Structure 1
Amino acid sequence: MARRLRPVGPDFVETAPLRLVFAREVTAAPEAVFHALAEDTPGWSEWFSAVTLARPTAEGTGREVRLRGGTRFEETVLVTQAPEVYAYRVDVTNAPGARALVEEWRLTPAGTGTRVRWTFAADGTAPFRAALVLGRAGLGRAFRTAMTALDQRLASTHA
């Protein structure tokens, strides 16, 4: 059953009761990574294996995302600051126990490539928070795999 979450702002990334932060360097330039994150929403399913569908909504100010296993999100884009920051809030989800979620992607130049930092900021019931803490290694692995796939995809499209 889908539930509406608490409408938090971009500052929730710093104040959330639970913050999972992952970072990885890729060879692609920040502009290319930002484009893949913020402007090529349908492309997410090509490089982030957990994503089965991603599409822009509300004339680009929102997103609909579906994950393997059936989890669904309706999101509002909070920050689009090219090529440094892309962030969105989950407004509606069927994930049990979630109360508020914001994801922020922060890009910084790293030599000729990009350092990608993904922050998953959440609030929810105690079982929800515990599941995220227990799932941290899996989320980190999914992030690293996604960044490798994205980097390969960007290298092939810019070759």
Structure 2
Amino acid sequence: MDTDQPPATPTWYDFRAVGPDFIETAPTRYVVTSTIAAPRQAVWDAFCDPESWPHWFPNVERVVHEGAPGIGMIRKSWVAGCVHDETMVIWDAPHAWGYIINRATQPLAAAQLELTTFDALPDGGTRVTWTLACEPLDGLTFLSADMDFPTFLKAMLDEAMGGLRRYLAGKACTQ
């Protein structure tokens, strides 16, 4: 292998820009929920901390935020070998955040908005609801024709909340 060769420049796939209303008007929507035995503010704080994500969300390798937290903040995430360039379009601390994908290194959809809401529960825990709204690409079944995608998303969110619970418990032990 020739190590003097520069790394390959990734191919980027542009997504169509959409606004917050796309969460209701998208041709395809997936909604999954999970609960975590942690206060909403702690869950929100972990979601807002880009350095924490690789410790608790499945397949997240790295997350970087550019700009001040809130609407317009750019978020870059490296997930399972795919890089996403995202812009926050919804920000209601500590209740909800949502972002559009501007472009990615895999052709995931023509347009995509993801909304996460955080609801405080009477027992002190938090219900996390993840809505993925997209316009599938022509000829590309989102994401796989042989996959029950809502079940896949639910399992991923449940795994993430389990990871977040362990992450927050570990932080509490070191403080």
Counterpart of 1:42, as a letter, is E
More helix by share: 1
Aligned to 2:56: 47
More strand by share: 1
Aligned counterparts of 1:2 and 1:75: Cα–Cα separation in 2 = 13
| C-alpha distance 138-97 of structure 1, shift in aligned 2 (>3 A) | closer
Aligned counterparts of 1:116 and 1:66: Cα–Cα separation in 2 = 22
Aligned counterparts of 2:44 and 2:108: Cα–Cα separation in 1 = 31
Give the share of equivalent positions with the same residue, in percent: 29
TM-score (norm 2): 0.82
| C-alpha distance 30-132 of structure 1, shift in aligned 2 (>3 A) | farther
Report the count of equivalent residues: 157
Q: Which of the numbers 67, 83, 87 marks the counterpart of 1:72?
A: 83
Q: CA RMSD for the aligned pairs?
A: 1.8
| Matching of residue 8 in structure 1 with residue 18 in structure 2 | yes
| C-alpha distance 132-19 of structure 1, shift in aligned 2 (>3 A) | farther
| C-alpha distance 16-40 of structure 1, shift in aligned 2 (>3 A) | same
TM-score (norm 1): 0.89
Do the aligned residues in 2 keep the contact of 1:28 with 1:155 (CA within 8 Å)? no
| C-alpha distance 64-29 of structure 1, shift in aligned 2 (>3 A) | same
Q: Which of the numbers 136, 147, 152 marks the counterpart of 2:161?
A: 147
Counterpart of 1:27, as a letter, is A
Aligned to 1:57: 66
Counterpart of 1:32, as a letter, is A
Structure 2 residue ranges without an equivalent (≥5): 1-10
